[in-house]
């Protein structure tokens, strides 16, 4: 594996770059002033629950950005809005120069839950998204097998989902998303339900896929270690009502080791900031159980 | 292997039943014309088959069954889908369907005779009203119980409209739909035999009715055996096989293989 050229050499970790004004073009995703609230019925009372309160950030083509935050802070809602699955109350999402208002194949999500179709084989699952395109059957199969090879599941092409382990399923999900060749991959705690060992393997795999495909990836997690060891940048969401509290640049070449002192330092800072976030009267942890 | 063992059990059960029947016959509890021996019934069954009476009965009955059941399934699927799409309609129809599902099908017969007529159409009508509500309710439940994540994932991949229905909603709900089909079939079958006894001049139900008319217990029992066999074949060899195949391909089976 080659070491990518350090773009901002020797910068270490830069913090609190507000809005990144020295924007290196092109920006594939621009999220501006995003607000979202839900109306919650709590017994007879109707309460407004502000989940996102002015979220701003942008991503360059090919960038791998991770998002961490206390549970219940609206990470999933943020991804849903970017994918066009949910509408925001205020603000805009611009993907590839176009405003997002409905689901489209430019942004494809990978979920924490098992979202693969149990009635289809692995290959059929991976090629599912191509059914909506003008792509012939043979071509569909070729693309599917290409991505299955990428996640090293070629041998399981004809298996059904119940024959796969949790980690294998998530690899199929990654292949299925890549097969559509979206502009951006939205990953919603994709490894959250896996055991520690499997997580590490999948983290290594997503890193190498990113190296290979240079796909733009927005990766949400509540695991700070995971966020730092994967991302070029880590965004810290504050507790509800959420906004981007801080940004950390992780300028460490890949493959990374969790023992790398610089990685450790960033992890330390985020954990500190997160602690402050939780203790500072943020309802994040407390109300978290009612809604995520 | 499992099927063979199951079939063996059925045969064993039948043998025990026939022995008990023969013993009661020998004990002369009832006069032979009211309770014929198993051998006499078998003779009658063969005679009915040779005369073509039985074949015609089976043919007509299965024809009605196919017609009524197909109408029920198509109508039930269509209305069930509409119930999911229009939530208020769905809620109203659902409680309505669940209520009508337990309405005795035979109670529709007078209504059908007057409104539709004392003919095949009337019989099919009784079958449809007996089974369509169960089909609606189970379609509705099956579609509503699809994990939302499947629909979300499919929409995210650009699937919508008819493709979403045939590519995701239908296959995702198939295991419960098959169970619903099986239940609707059972309702239709019960209603059909009842309606034939009261409304038909040909068919297995009519054979039963004529048996009672002419005090031919051997014909009654022979017809009952035929009806039993059709039900058994449909349920064991068609529905349970389909159900098992659908479930096992998704790892839903509890059987050890």
3-class DSSP state for residue B4? Answer: helix
Are B135 and B104 within 8 A, CB to CB?
A: no
Are B64 and B203 within 8 A, CB to CB?
A: yes
**In chain B, what are the domain boundaries?**
53-249
Q: Find the CATH number of the domain harbouring A196.
A: 3.40.50.300
Closest-CA distance, B193 to chain A, in angstroms, reads 36
Q: Which of A118, A128, A161 sits opposite B157 (nearest CB)?
A: A128
Last residue of a domain, one of A160, A181, A202: A181
Q: Given an 8 Å threshold on Cβ–Cβ distance, is B167 in contact with A131?
A: yes
**Contacts B152 to A, Cβ<8 Å:** 85, 109, 111, 115
The segments of chain A whose pLDDT lies below 70 read: 1-25, 278-292
Tens digit of each residue's pLDDT (9 = 90 or more) over A131-154: 888 888 888 999 999 999 999 999
Q: Given an 8 Å threshold on Cβ–Cβ distance, is B168 in contact with A131?
A: no
Ramachandran angles phi, psi of A24, nearest 5°: -85, 125
Q: Which residues contact A102 (CB under 8 A, 6 or more apart)?
A: A84
Residue A166 touches partner B, C-beta closer than 8 Å: no
β-strands A98-99, A107-110 pairing: unpaired
What is the distance between the alpha carbons of residues B211 and B170, in angstroms, rounded to a whole number? 45
Kindly provide the ipTM of the predicted complex, given to two decimals. 0.81
Q: How far is CA A98 from CA A32, A130, A182, in A?
A: 13, 22, 14
Which pTM value belongs to this model?
A: 0.78
Q: What is the DSSP string of A69-113?
A: --TTSSHHHHHHHHTTSS--SEEEEEETTEE--S--TTEEEE-SS
What is the distance between the alpha carbons of residues A148 and A69, in angstroms, rounded to a whole number? 32
pLDDT at B256: 43
What is the distance between the alpha carbons of residues B132 and B138, in angstroms, rounded to a whole number? 10
Shortest CA distance from A185: residue in chain B? B156
* Claim to verify: residue A175 and residue A194 sit in the same structural domain: no
Q: Which tokens sit at A96?
A: 């590839």
* Claim to verify: residue A216 and residue A261 sit in the same structural domain: yes
Last residue of a domain, one of A165, A181, A197: A181
Last residue of a domain, one of A181, A211, A229: A181
Q: Which of B153, B163, B167 sits opposite A115 (nearest CB)?
A: B153
First to last CA, chain B: 10
Q: How far is CA A41 from CA A48, A214, B148, in A?
A: 9, 44, 22
Q: Given an 8 Å threshold on Cβ–Cβ distance, is A131 in contact with B159?
A: yes
What is the distance between the alpha carbons of residues B157 and B173, in angstroms, rounded to a whole number? 20
pLDDT at B102: 85
Any long-range contacts for A145-150 (C-beta under 8 Å, 24+ apart)? A147/A175, A147/A176, A147/A178, A147/A179, A148/A122, A148/A123, A148/A172, A148/A175, A150/A175, A150/A178, A150/A209, A150/A212
**Torsion angle (degrees, nearest 10) of CA B143, A193, A169, B162:** 20
Q: Which of B150, B156, B158 sits opposite A117 (nearest CB)?
A: B150
The two most distant CA atoms of chain B are separated, in Å, by: 74
What's the sign of the alpha-carbon dihedral A41, A46, A49, A50?
A: positive
Structural domain range at position A146 = 113-181
pLDDT at A47: 82
**pLDDT tens-place values along chain B, 257 residues long:** 566 777 788 889 989 999 999 999 999 989 999 999 999 999 999 999 999 999 999 999 999 999 999 999 999 999 999 999 898 999 999 999 888 888 999 999 999 999 999 999 999 999 999 999 999 999 999 999 999 999 999 999 989 888 998 999 999 999 999 999 999 999 999 999 999 999 999 999 999 999 999 999 999 999 999 999 999 889 888 888 888 888 887 877 654 44
pLDDT at A281: 47
Residue B148 touches partner A, C-beta closer than 8 Å: no
DSSP state of A11: -
* Claim to verify: residue A101 and residue A188 sit in the same structural domain: yes
DSSP state of A231: -
Residue ranges in chain A assigned as alpha helix (H): 75-82, 122-126, 137-150, 166-179, 196-213, 224-230, 261-279, 284-287
What is the distance between the alpha carbons of residues B123 and B128, in angstroms, rounded to a whole number? 9
* Claim to verify: residue A149 and residue A290 sit in the same structural domain: no
pLDDT at B254: 55
What is the distance between the alpha carbons of residues B186 and B234, in angstroms, rounded to a whole number? 10
For the domain made up of B53-249, give the CATH fold.
MetI-like fold (1.10.3720)
What is the distance between the alpha carbons of residues A103 and B152, in angstroms, rounded to a whole number? 10
Q: Given an 8 Å threshold on Cβ–Cβ distance, is B156 in contact with A117?
A: no
* Claim to verify: residue A144 and residue A242 sit in the same structural domain: no
Provide the phi-psi class of A72: left if phi over 0, else alpha when psi is between -120 and 50, else beta: left
| Beta-sheet strand order (sheet of A244-249) | A107-110, A184-188, A216-220, A64-68, A233-237, A244-249
Residue B183 touches partner A, C-beta closer than 8 Å: no
What is the distance between the alpha carbons of residues B142 and B140, in angstroms, rounded to a whole number? 6
Q: Given an 8 Å threshold on Cβ–Cβ distance, is B251 in contact with A118?
A: yes
Closest-CA distance, B178 to chain A, in angstroms, reads 14
Q: For chain A, how many structural domains are there in total?
A: 2
Counting one residue from chain A and one from chain B, the pairs whose CB atoms sit within 8 A come to 64
pLDDT at A7: 45
pLDDT at A6: 44
């Amino acid at each position: 594996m080659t070491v990518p050229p350090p773009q901002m050499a020797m910068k270490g970790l830069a913090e609190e770059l507000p809005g990144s004004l020295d924007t290196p073009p092109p920006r594939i995703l621009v999220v501006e002033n995003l607000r979202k609230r839900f109306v919650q019925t709590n017994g007879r009372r109707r309460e407004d629950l502000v989940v996102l309160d002015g979220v701003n950030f942008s991503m360059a083509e090919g960038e791998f950005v991770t998002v961490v935050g206390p549970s219940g802070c609206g990470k999933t809602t943020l991804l849903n809005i970017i994918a066009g699955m949910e509408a925001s109350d205020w603000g805009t999402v611009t993907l590839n120069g176009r405003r997002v208002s409905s689901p489209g194949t430019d942004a494809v999500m990978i979920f924490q839950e098992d979202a693969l179709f149990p009635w289809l084989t692995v290959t059929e699952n991976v090629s599912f998204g191509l059914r909506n395109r003008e792509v012939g059957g043979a071509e569909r199969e070729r693309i599917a097998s290409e991505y299955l090879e990428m996640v090293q599941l070629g041998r399981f092409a004809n298996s059904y989902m119940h024959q796969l382990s949790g980690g294998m399923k998530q690899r199929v999900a990654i292949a299925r998303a890549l097969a559509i060749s979206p502009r951006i991959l939205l990953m919603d705690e994709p490894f959250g339900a896996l055991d520690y060992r499997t997580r590490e393997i999948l983290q290594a795999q997503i890193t190498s896929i990113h190296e290979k495909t240079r796909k733009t990836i927005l990766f949400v997690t509540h695991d700070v270690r995971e966020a730092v060891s994967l991302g070029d940048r880590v965004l810290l969401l504050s507790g509800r009502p959420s906004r981007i509290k801080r940004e950390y640049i992780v300028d460490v070449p890949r493959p990374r080791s969790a023992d790398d002192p610089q990685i450790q330092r960033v992890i330390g800072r985020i954990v500190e900031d997160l602690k402050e976030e939780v203790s500072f009267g943020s309802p994040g942890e407390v109300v978290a159980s009612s809604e995520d | 292997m499992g099927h063979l063992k199951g079939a063996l059990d059925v045969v064993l059960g039948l043998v025990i039943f026939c022995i008990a029947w023969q013993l009661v016959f020998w004990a002369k509890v009832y006069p032979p014309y009211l309770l014929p021996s198993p051998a006499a019934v078998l003779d009658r069954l063969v005679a009915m088959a040779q005369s073509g009476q039985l074949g015609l009965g089976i043919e007509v009955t299965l024809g009605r069954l196919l017609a009524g059941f197909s109408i029920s399934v198509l109508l039930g699927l269509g209305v069930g889908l509409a119930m999911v799409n229009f939530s208020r309609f769905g809620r109203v129809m659902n409680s309505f369907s669940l209520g009508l599902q337990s309405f005795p099908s035979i109670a529709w017969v007078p209504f059908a005779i007057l409104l539709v007529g004392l003919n095949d159409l009337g019989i099919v009508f009784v079958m449809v009203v007996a089974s369509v509500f169960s089909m609606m309710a189970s379609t509705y439940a099956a579609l509503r119980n699809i994990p939302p994540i499947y629909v979300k994932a499919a929409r995210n991949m650009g699937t919508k409209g008819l493709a979403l229905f045939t590519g995701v909603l239908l296959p995702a709900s198939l295991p419960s739909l098959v169970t619903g089909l099986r239940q609707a079939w059972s309702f239709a079958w019960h209603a059909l035999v009842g309606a034939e006894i009261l409304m038909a001049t040909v068919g297995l139900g009519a054979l039963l009715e004529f048996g009672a008319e002419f005090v031919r217990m051997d014909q009654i029992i022979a017809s009952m055996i035929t009806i039993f066999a059709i039900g058994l074949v449909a349920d064991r060899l068609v529905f349970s096989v389909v159900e098992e195949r659908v479930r096992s391909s998704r790892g839903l089976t509890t059987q050890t293989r």
